A and B are shown apart, each in its own frame.
Chain A
């Protein structure tokens, strides 16, 4: 049995974007560039970074939804991206939605029955459970969605800002639950959040992604400190400097000499 959960070596992800001037030419853009790291089982990794730096792209790659374009990506175990509103059907009641989402996630009928009580208990929705989800507030929806996702039993859990909707109390409850399963069952958790407090409190390892490249990977508090400094620095800049700075960053990520495209690529974009 290997001890690592995830191992990435020089992983890149390229997106094709439309060019600014309305010509037909498209530009290629590094969403992620040469990312290499290794995460052990039972680790909790907090992923930090400003908007558009590639955090969500990384979460898509880690959860196996999207394919990477270069490098090698080894995942040891079953992974699941925790998504809140996905698969909830607005017309159906909360109770029926447990079945819907359970089925979408590929659970068997028996397994869904098994987790149902746990989910109901965890979501704390009361009588709203028997109302159609369209009547729910956004916080209630996220409670239901999150509770169903948590009832799954993946080895690697990826949380992409899923806790930012619910109230503080519920967020804390979820964190405690995740901490419990991590410690008891040696789960690996990737936690993407903009709340530095939560990340510091919850994670053991920090990962800072900036402009599609891995800037820092190490002890959580150190990474958090450096990231906070960076954000402060950005905020301290004048509007004009900031714009120029971010523009430069963006340009760095564009692939200047895209490889010659074959006919196949033209047909399929």
Chain B
């Protein structure tokens, strides 16, 4: 418990530091290329089109639950492309800042949050694309869309908690990052991003997908946009999701707390 309050306190007292680091890292990324912020919009758009070609046109998917495939997939991807880069770069959150943590006294536990905040900006770009597309397809914003704010917060807390764990584990064994990167490909298909979690021939698979916390976030995004549902329509899933997040956060915090001054020697 001491470690949890330590991590929360360190993060809250360094909010400006987190935002500043995230902001200037984004800025540095943009300076790298000529068109800068354009790519933050273009690269997800191109990816959506790719998957739409493969699954929507190539494999003739008709869509699910009465929603055409393209808008259905875009919403799923909007959530996925926030979670996925956060998980992969969250692993190296501490490791990639090794020149900083070895050279100055630095609150290491804020590093996962900087990654999540930075990716959140990209997520907002992606959501802007998604919303424009949805309006083209005839889905107009209504009050249930506010659920997106809640689910975005869920996604943020989930990736933050996970990054706390994986970033410390990566410091101990660099293999963790490799493992996570390879698992991400599998995780995409274990999440209801490209297909729904309903396999009539394989009920075990559907159950497994529902155990995945990302299921809650992705279906939450869709519920808010298409089905006019609120988080209160799934009390059991909501409870399960927050238990997972809190568990990860406690594990991550205690790892952070115990190894905060040993990290430098682990490099």
Contacts and interface: CB of A to CB of B under 8 A. Distances in A.
A106 B32 contact: no
A12 to B, nearest CB: 14
Interface in A86-123: 86-87, 89-92, 96, 99-100, 103-106, 108-109
B143 interface: no
Contacts of A100: 20-21, 24
B104 A80 contact: yes
Interface in A195-247: none
Contact of A96 (B17, B27, B103): B27
Given A86-B99, A99-B24, A100-B24, A105 B261 contact: no
Nearest to B29: A91
A79 to B, nearest CB: 7
Interface string B1-16: 0000000000000101
B100 interface: yes
A67 B21 contact: no
B261 to A, nearest CB: 4
Interface residues of A, number: 31
B16 A105 contact: no
Contact of B17 (A65, A80, A103): A103
A166 interface: no
Contacts of B261: 66-67
A67 B105 contact: no
B28 A92 contact: yes
Contacts of A48: none
Contacts of B28: 89-92
B105 A65 contact: yes
Interface in A145-183: none
B266 interface: yes
B133 interface: no
Interface string B96-126: 0001111111110000000000000000000
A145 to B, nearest CB: 10
A268 B266 CA distance: 9
B57 interface: no
Contacts, number: 77
B interface, size bucket: 20 to 34
**Quick one: which of A79, A90, A103 has the most chain B CB within 10 A?**
A103
A186 interface: no
B104 A81 contact: yes
Contacts of B105: 63-65, 79-81
A92 B27 CA distance: 8
Nearest to A152: B104
B99 A66 contact: no
Interface string A66-91: 11000000000001110101110111
A89 to B, nearest CB: 5
A99 B31 contact: no
Contact of B24 (A83, A86, A103, A108): A103
B181 to A, nearest CB: 22
B262 interface: yes
B172 interface: yes
Contacts of B99: 85-87
A64 B263 CA distance: 12
A39 B172 CA distance: 35
A26 to B, nearest CB: 13
Q: Which of A81, A85, A91, A269 has the most CB of B within 10 A?
A: A91
A67 B266 contact: no
B16 A99 contact: no
Nearest to A92: B28
A104 B17 contact: yes
Interface of B: 14, 16-17, 20-21, 24-25, 27-29, 31-32, 99-107, 172, 261-262, 264-266
Closest 3 CB pairs of A and B: A103-B20, A83-B103, A67-B261
5 contacts: A63-B105, A64-B105, A86-B103, A100-B20, A104-B106
Given A80-B105, A100-B24, A267-B172, 18 more contacts: A15-B265, A60-B264, A65-B101, A65-B102, A65-B103, A65-B106, A67-B262, A81-B104, A83-B103, A86-B100, A86-B103, A86-B104, A87-B99, A87-B103, A91-B29, A99-B20, A103-B20, A106-B107
